[in-house]
Amino acid sequence: MEQPEEPVTIHTVRLAVSVAAAILATVGCGSDRATAPADYNPDVDSTDFVVGVDNPYFPLVPGTVYHYEAQTEDGMETETAEVLSDTRKILGITATIVHDQVFLEGSLTEDTFDWYAQNKAGDVWYMGEDTRELEDGTVVSTEGSWEAGVNGAKPGIIAWADPSAHVDEEYRQEYLLGVAEDFGKVVAVDQSVTVPFGSFTGCIKTEDRSDLEPDILENKYYCPQLGVVREETVKGGTELNQLVDVTPP
């Protein structure tokens, strides 16, 4: 079943417009950002994509549910990421949908649908997200929502087919001016990592940052046949989010 098409919300569009002028002015005045927006034109030919995602470092098997936990200053935060059998057409590409929910002490605080697609080479592209923040069961923000091809938004890489060929190469993971400006960089391969779900080898370590939150830096570990097992804030915070269980299809 294909998820119904929905436009980016008016709230999000207004947010993008409100910050665009200031950010463009910075770029025009010699900004040292890794990739100037005008120069970012990713090649996403729909004929070069396949249906489904089987990249070993980011496998998306429909029916699989990943369970994460993080102890925060506000209490225990749990997260479930379920790979749906539904798909969504974006730029003529069939994207796999992941339904991600975050709970703080049992109360839903974030409800997001992420969209991913894999090209024939095996690279996984992030095509957008529909995200909602909640307080006491009420949606209070959709900030951060974007869809490739809508209002200037462009997709980015979330996982390479061959991470070892891209070590220390920074890449965009998403792009919508003022809304989605995350970057990733593979900083190490063949890593070993232990989380509550188990111990794993052959993992990839990335460094992740955002131009919208320049004081925050994260490390993520992607392990074969699992995907992300650990996320750790190493600058601007101390949050540690770890894989605790996987429910198979």
Q: Does domain 10-247 have CATH number 2.40.360?
A: yes
- Residue 249, CA distances (Å) to 1, 37, 55, 62, 84 in order: 17, 39, 17, 7, 10
- Residue 186, CA distances (Å) to 94, 108, 228 in order: 26, 32, 13
Instruction: Give the DSSP H or E segment for 23.
Output: helix 10-28
pTM score over 0.75: yes
pLDDT by position in tens, the chain (length 249): 444 444 433 333 333 333 333 333 333 333 344 444 668 999 899 999 999 999 999 999 999 999 999 999 899 999 999 999 999 999 999 999 999 999 999 999 999 999 999 999 999 999 999 999 999 999 999 999 999 999 999 999 999 999 999 999 999 999 999 999 999 999 999 999 999 999 999 999 999 999 999 999 999 999 999 999 999 999 999 999 999 999 999
- What CA dihedral angle connects 155, 173, 32 and 185, to 10 degrees? -150
Secondary structure (3-state) at 174? strand
Record the tokens describing residue 235, joined without a space: 């600058």
